[in-house]
């Protein structure tokens, strides 16, 4: 079985995760589920980036030790991913011993290769912020946050010779045109590389939080340098060569538009320097805003994922984000939009389709799937619609175009609703001479619902399983897109228990 390694960004655990974080994990999860359904052995990763000096700072402000703080925050993240049904295989914390070891080994490898050297890092440093500011960020020569005069400080740091890799990076982009998706992001990356790359500092002096530099324990590794290495750590780098051979290079890094510089430039160069292969693809997604405004906890703008789950459920949130927001671009979360898509698309179109189907099976056939007779034009049309859906939904998920995929799927869902109206099974029930015709309609209708559920499974796995259950089938798993795709997966004579509406009206 082919392996497929998908990573998501590891998040800074210095505040609670919001919808933006959720968007990325949900997209990556939908893709991971899609790949599994297509028969791949998938490894999906996520985690938290705990070595940041910001984390240490936030901890101190909360009157806690960094260690205490991250131990509290970490479960908040994987807890949310669990409640969103993110099917991650591993959740990494960058304070884990295996990652500390891997980072040090990686640093050492790059150093041994001659690409890390000692240099001077200097700039305007605000003592209140504990941060360096580049000249243009200063306001009248003062710290933009505290308004106080910063001090000119310099410290010895270790630098990574990024500038050496300019040509090799350009070459890599040239040879791998799909390295960065979507294309307009690739163009941004290339633009930046062509402007010329500068070496960057990969260590910080005088800090007590972080991973010690292997060749100099007075310094810690710069947080981005160690954070990126998490992808290799998870693949076994530094402790399990067999595992590394199986999973490295990663097939795709899923990241937000704010961090492509690190993933598309720094990271490949770091890997070249460490003698590791470069991941095959980097998929860059956009951001979610709240009704046109940036989400901001302090300003009270936005909504907590847990609240949405509490009101609507997990799958409605997953569906809404995947359907509403084009993954590669920015999009907007609005309570009205969520409510509309929930009721119109999930409830009325899909949920009601299931409900009317199992209801008629119960009323007219005692909840037992009948044997279908010969097709008429109506059945042929329905199957054409199904085939079209399979093609375009498969294609859409494969290209990270979730919104398009779901949009195409709903074309089929509507076709199935139209099938009921066109064939009018409820008018046939009282006429014994029409029994075979009714059997045919009910069977094909159920089959249409089953196909829709299977197609929707990457996006709304729990709901798809519920639909399967109402049709008397066991949960969807394994390479179901390969082995259950054919029309006729339902066995005549089996019982269709039905059940409560899966997307009940709210409010």
Q: At what angle do helices 53-61 and 66-83 cross, to 10 degrees?
A: 100
Distance CA 226, CA 210 (A): 9
Distance CA 58, CA 74 (A): 14
315 binds RNA (CB under 7 A): no
354 binds RNA (CB under 7 A): yes
Q: Strand 216-221 and strand 212-213: pairing?
A: antiparallel
434 binds RNA (CB under 7 A): no
Distance CA 257, CA 55 (A): 22
Residue of 25, 35, 99, 126 marked catalytic:
126
Nearest residue (CB) to RNA, 98 versus 414: 414
SS3 content of the chain, % helix, strand, coil (to 5): 50, 15, 30
Active-site residue, 297 included: yes
Active-site residue, 143 included: yes
Residue of 118, 120, 149, 297 marked catalytic:
297
296 binds RNA (CB under 7 A): no
501 binds RNA (CB under 7 A): yes
- Which residues within the stretch 252-271 sit at the binding site for RNA (CB under 7 A)? 257-258, 261
Active-site residue, 198 included: no
HEC readout, 103-162: HHHHHHHHHHCCCEEEEEEEEEEECCCCEEECHHHCECCECCCCCCCCEEEEEEEEEECH
Residue of 21, 25, 99, 285 marked catalytic:
21
Active-site residue, 294 included: yes
Q: Where are the alpha helices (DSSP H) in 38-83?
A: 53-61, 66-83
Nearest residue (CB) to RNA, 258 versus 307: 258
Nearest residue (CB) to RNA, 64 versus 388: 388
With a CB cutoff of 8 Å and minimum separation 6, the contacts of 500 are none
- Choose, by CB under 7 A, the member of 281, 359, 484, 495 that binds RNA: 359
With a CB cutoff of 8 Å and minimum separation 6, the contacts of 175 are none
Calculate the alpha carbon distances from 127 to 69, 131, 142, 144, 217 in Å.
23, 7, 12, 12, 23
- Which residues within the stretch 389-428 sit at the binding site for RNA (CB under 7 A)? 414, 417-418, 420-421, 424-427
Active-site residue, 18 included: yes
SS3 43: strand
- Choose, by CB under 7 A, the member of 13, 347, 461, 472 that binds RNA: 347
CA atoms within 13 A on the CB side of 210: 25
CB of 326 vs RNA, minimal distance in Å: 6
Distance CA 92, CA 182 (A): 27
381 binds RNA (CB under 7 A): no
- Choose, by CB under 7 A, the member of 82, 122, 330, 395 that binds RNA: 330
- Choose, by CB under 7 A, the member of 167, 175, 177, 195 that binds RNA: 195
**Stretch of residues binding RNA (CB under 7 A), selected from 168-176, 304-312, 338-346, 475-483:** 338-346
352 binds RNA (CB under 7 A): yes
**Stretch of residues binding RNA (CB under 7 A), selected from 135-143, 210-218, 235-243, 307-315:** 135-143
Active-site residue, 21 included: yes
Place of tokens 């993933």: 263
142 binds RNA (CB under 7 A): no
- CA nearest to 466, candidates 456, 475, 454: 475
- CA nearest to 495, candidates 365, 369, 362: 369
Active-site residue, 120 included: no
- CA nearest to 27, candidates 1, 56, 6: 6
By CB under 7 A, how many residues form the interface with RNA? Answer: 47
Residue of 18, 35, 253, 343 marked catalytic:
18
- Confirm if 471 and 490 have CB atoms less than 8 A apart: yes
Nearest residue (CB) to RNA, 383 versus 485: 383
78 binds RNA (CB under 7 A): no
Active site residues: 18, 21, 126, 129, 143, 146, 294, 297
Binding site for RNA (CB under 7 A): 135-136, 138, 184, 187-188, 191-192, 195, 257-258, 261, 324, 326, 329-332, 340, 344-345, 347-352, 354-356, 359-360, 363, 414, 417-418, 420-421, 424-427, 501-505
């Amino acid at each position: 079985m082919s392996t497929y390694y998908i990573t998501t960004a590891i998040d800074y655990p210095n505040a609670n995760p919001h919808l933006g974080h959720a968007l990325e994990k949900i997209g990556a999860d939908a893709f991971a589920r899609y790949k599994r359904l297509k028969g791949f052995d998938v490894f999906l990763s996520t985690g938290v980036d705990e070595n940041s000096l910001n984390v240490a700072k936030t901890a101190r402000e909360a009157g806690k030790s960094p260690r205490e703080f991250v131990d509290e925050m970490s479960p908040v993240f994987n807890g949310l991913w669990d409640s969103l049904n993110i099917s991650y295989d591993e959740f990494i914390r960058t304070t884990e011993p295996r990652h500390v070891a891997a980072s040090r080994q990686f640093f050492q490898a790059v150093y041994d290769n001659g690409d890390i050297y000692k240099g001077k890092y200097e700039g305007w440093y605000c003592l209140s912020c504990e941060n360096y500011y580049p000249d243009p960020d200063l306001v009248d020569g003062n710290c933009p946050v505290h308004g106080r005069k910063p001090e000119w400080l310099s410290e010895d740091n270790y630098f990574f010779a990024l500038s050496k890799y300019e040509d090799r990076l350009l070459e890599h982009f040239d040879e791998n045109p799909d390295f960065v998706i979507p294309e307009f992001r690739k163009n941004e990356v290339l633009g930046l590389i062509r402007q010329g790359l500068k070496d960057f500092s990969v260590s910080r002096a005088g800090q007590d939080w972080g991973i010690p530099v292997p060749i100099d324990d007075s310094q810690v590794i710069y947080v981005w340098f160690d954070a990126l290495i998490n992808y290799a750590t998870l693949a076994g780098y530094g402790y399990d060569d067999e595992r590394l051979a199986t999973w490295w290079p990663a097939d795709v890094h899923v990241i937000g538009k704010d961090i492509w510089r690190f993933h598309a430039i720094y990271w490949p160069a770091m890997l070249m320097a460490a003698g590791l292969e470069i991941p095959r693809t980097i998929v860059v997604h956009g951001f979610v805003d709240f009704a046109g405004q940036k989400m901001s906890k302090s300003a009270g703008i936005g909504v907590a994922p847990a609240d949405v789950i509490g009101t609507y459920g997990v799958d409605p949130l997953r569906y809404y984000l995947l359907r509403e927001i084009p993954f590669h671009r920015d999009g907007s979360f609005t309570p009205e939009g969520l409510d509309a898509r929930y009721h119109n698309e999930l409830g009325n179109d899909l949920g009601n389709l299931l409900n009317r189907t199992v209801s008629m099976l119960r009323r007219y056939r005692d909840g037992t799937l009948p044997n279908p007779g010969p097709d008429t034009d109506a059945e042929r049309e329905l199957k054409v619609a199904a085939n079209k859906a399979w093609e375009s939904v498969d294609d859409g998920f494969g290209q990270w175009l979730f919104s398009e995929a779901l949009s195409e799927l709903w074309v089929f869902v509507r076709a199935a609703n139209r099938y009921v109206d066109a064939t009018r099974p409820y008018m046939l029930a009282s006429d014994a001479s029409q029994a075979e015709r009714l059997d045919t309609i009910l069977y094909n209708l159920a089959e249409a619902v089953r196909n829709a559920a299977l197609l929707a499974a990457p996006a709304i796995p729990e709901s798809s399983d519920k639909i399967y259950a109402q049709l008397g089938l066991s949960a969807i798993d394994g390479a179901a897109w390969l082995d259950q795709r054919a029309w006729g997966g339902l066995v005549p004579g089996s019982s269709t228990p039905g059940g409560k509406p899966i997307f009940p009206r709210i409010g």
